[in-house]
Structure 1
Amino acid sequence: MSISVVIADDQRMIRAGLRMVIETEPDMLVVGEAGDGAEAVAVARRLRPDVVLMDIAMPRQDGLAATSTLRADPHPPGVIILTTFDSDENLYRALRAGAGGFLLKVSSPEHLITAIRVVASGEALLDPAVTTRVISAFAGQPGPRPPAALDGLTPREAEVLRLVARGLSNAEVAAELAVGEATVKTHVARVLMKLGLRDRVQAVVFAYESGLVRAGQSPVSPPAPPASGNNRR
């Protein structure tokens, strides 16, 4: 079964280039295009694609507003934001809008195809450069008081959330914790449910905003004081 894709970008040449890359894959099909955010919403609602590739800077409605609108739908498509990192504010808005993937426009065709597959499967993908930018954006900020919702997480669930916030995939988290990938998926699902979060990307934002993870901190270390040989595994 083909992965259906809608491309939203105000530049026709970029849309054409993306279409060429995507349609070299036998299991992918570009089913529609849009030149602005409002059109992207209309096209996606009409065609119900698996994934929307969304530019940020577009006329009428920008890609961030369009993403937020689509992700609020009952059965939203996965959205991959295409960005040039014009500002940290845009990056933060994109995270909060609920996009499932973030790619630089200079990313390789192979990276684009991987991102589409990951997001179509219901998971999220952060470009490593995006993860670095997120960490930098939170660096130096005073540590907020953790919300009470964190108390509902088990120690293992909190550990999984920390690793996810560092940009690790389910397979990488599984390797780090020496458990099965299916176990990690179960933990991630429970974390999202308990915290009332929509997806993995919102979990990353939550982890930093709550102070559960701090920039410069080891992914597997809890933010608590250095301890006396405490092992959370």
Structure 2
Amino acid sequence: MEMEAVIQEQASLEQQLASMRTQITNLSSEVEEQKSTVAAARNNLDEAQSELNAVRQKMKQCDKEISGIVKEQKKLEHKLSESNLERKRMENEVKRMEMEQKDCSVRVDKLIEKHAWIASEKQLFGKSGTDYDFASRDPGKAREELEKLQAEQSGLEKRVNKKVMAMFEKAEDEYNDLMSKKNIIENDKSKIKKVIEELDEKKKETLNVTWIKVNT
């Protein structure tokens, strides 16, 4: 009886062991499948990471190229701005030179009109050996001489003006003195005339009184 129980228990245990072995085999197969899945996923992840790194590297390269393009664009814009400023400066310079040329032409025409000798001696301007040999003359020295002469002229004008003013003031004082004397004389004349008129009146009264006395 005990033997049968042991045999039955052994058979049950063997059955359980076989079942467990089957489960282990199934689980092992499932584990292998999961390993394959994980390996495939890991492989896909590695590929994706590699692609991501490649994309990031490409983006980095693109950013670098964009930065270089932006920097070059700024250089070109700055150069363009400087070119525009230079163009405007040159246009203003051309306008200024045109105005100066026009002004010089007007001044030359006025000088020719004012000084008749210019037209007759104009052909000698710039010729060597003449008084108009501008190449042999030092402009700086000529300007110094001109400024010196202008200073002397200014000094003479001031002295002449002072002398004229002194003469004018003297004449004005003499005129005022004469006018004062004239007024005094006219006042005295008026007084004398009044005295004469009073004397004439008294004379008439005296004659009248005398005539009355004589005739009464």
Q: TM-score range by the shorter chain?
A: under 0.3
- TM-score calculated relative to the size of structure 2: 0.17
Higher relative strand content: 1
- TM-score calculated relative to the size of structure 1: 0.16
Pick the structure with greater CA Rg: 2
